[in-house]
Amino acid sequence: MINEAALLESKALRSGVLERTDVLDRVKALSLLPDGMHVTTAMVAAYFHVGVKAIESLVIDHREELEANGYRVLAGTELTSFKEVCGIQSRTRALALYPRRAVLNVAMLLRDSEVARQVRVYLLDMEYMARTQPVDNNAVHSPVEDLNEHIDRRITHILGKTVVPLFNTLIETSGEHSRELVALREDVENVERRLCWHHQRMRVLEAGTPADAVGTSIKAMTWQAFERHVADLLRRDGCTQVVVRQARSDRGIDITGHTADGRSVAVQCKNRDGRWSVPSADMQKFAGAARTLQPADVALFVATSQFSSEAQAIADLTGIITIARDELEAWSAGVRLKALSGGSRTSGRAGPTPSA
């Protein structure tokens, strides 16, 4: 699996994932100029929460690579025409423009930005999942089946790459109507996940094997990849500011973030053999961290195994939501986690159900 350091250092590896510009809006809404295609240096800096000088310095060091991915500087009559088209009133004599591909390129080069790091993690998660998904080379599909699959995948692509990012942008600028837009976005994401779930179940049935592709993929993950996988599920279900700590000093909390309605989230992940049960000691440690050291509105304990009766009792007592192997596999396959939506209960088993 490609690691983050390799992605930062290798131009060839960066080039291999530059088509995945949709991850920008998955992590955070990217505001565009009125032409719907470009952003300025200031807009790039605002997206990554860094100063303009940091972006300008990065351009100096990697100008050739960025230009290959669409970065350019307008001046003279070309700039005048662009200002007229976009309605820009600035008197600047030159304007640097970045298409989405160049912005993603910046994300893979910018070291001192948490947003850029989250974009890289998202890319790595997608690359890992793509490499670990089982492939059935013997499956034979009719032209009609291939056409239906192509149409469904095209719909999924449009929902994920166009409609959801549009909702993200509207939510950031909507003010009093944000709650209604969040609800609409959730409906669209539910449709997208339902299509993904349908594809996976059909693949399993057509292959004629009881093996669960999702379970197999999760079982193959390292603990680091598993934490990134859970973080990706949080983002998919609308969570923002998702951070994977992956440090020895995490104080019992592996992932933090916020739900779409603003509640704080703390997550503990345990990637162990399915025959292993989460003991009460682990639950006590997480309860102390999520309820005392760093209080969270939503505390999730996600495990690839089951929970011991003592651990579950502590979870119920302290309001910890447990996500055992079966719930995790359903969540990974596209089922929305109720605990992350507004008005959900605050303790017990997660119990995800298929999104309608």
Cα separation, 163 vs 160, whole angstroms: 6
| DSSP for residue 55 | H
Angle at 202 between CA 214 and CA 335, to 5 degrees: 50
Q: Rounded to the nearest 10 degrees, how much is the dihedral formed by the CA atoms of 147, 163, 230, 309? A: -90
Judged against a pLDDT cut of 80, whether residue 349 lies above it is answered with no
Q: What is the DSSP string of 213-275?
A: HHHHHHHT--HHHHHHHHHHHHHHTT-EEEEE--STT-TT--EEEE-TTS-EEEEEEE---TT
pLDDT of residue 340: 84
| DSSP for residue 141 | -
Cα separation, 221 vs 214, whole angstroms: 11
- The predicted-structure confidence for 226-244, as pLDDT tens digits, reads as follows 898 898 889 888 888 889 8
pLDDT of residue 321: 95
Answer whether 324's CB lies under 8 Å from 307's CB.
Answer: yes
pLDDT of residue 170: 65
For the chain, strand residue ranges (E) read: 38-39, 72-75, 94-99, 240-244, 255-258, 264-270, 277-278, 298-303, 306-307, 321-323, 348-349
- The predicted-structure confidence for 92-104, as pLDDT tens digits, reads as follows 889 999 999 999 9
Q: Is the model more confident about 232 or about 349? A: 232
Question: If you average pLDDT over every residue of the chain, what do you get?
Answer: 77
CA 253 from centre of chain: 19
pLDDT of residue 165: 64
CA 257 from centre of chain: 12
Taking each helix axis from N to C end, the angle separating 52-68 and 100-107, rounded to the nearest 10 degrees, works out to: 120
- Which range among 109-113, 131-135, 293-297 shows the weakest confidence by mean pLDDT? 131-135
Taking alpha carbons only, the member of 142, 139, 112, 115 closest to residue 28 is 115
The overall longest dimension of the chain from CA atoms, in Å, is 73
Judged against a pLDDT cut of 70, whether residue 302 lies above it is answered with yes
Each as own residue / partner, the long-range contacts of residues 210-213 (CB below 8 Å, 24 or more positions apart, any chain) are: 211/134, 212/329, 213/133, 213/134
Per-residue pLDDT averaged across 205-225, rounded? 64
Model confidence, pTM: 0.44
Answer whether 293's CB lies under 8 Å from 326's CB.
Answer: no
- The predicted-structure confidence for 66-85, as pLDDT tens digits, reads as follows 999 999 999 998 888 888 87
Q: Partners of 169 in the beta sheet?
A: none
Structure token pair of residue 66: 């960025």
Distances (CA, A) of 88 to 19, 40, 57, 95, 195: 29, 12, 25, 11, 41
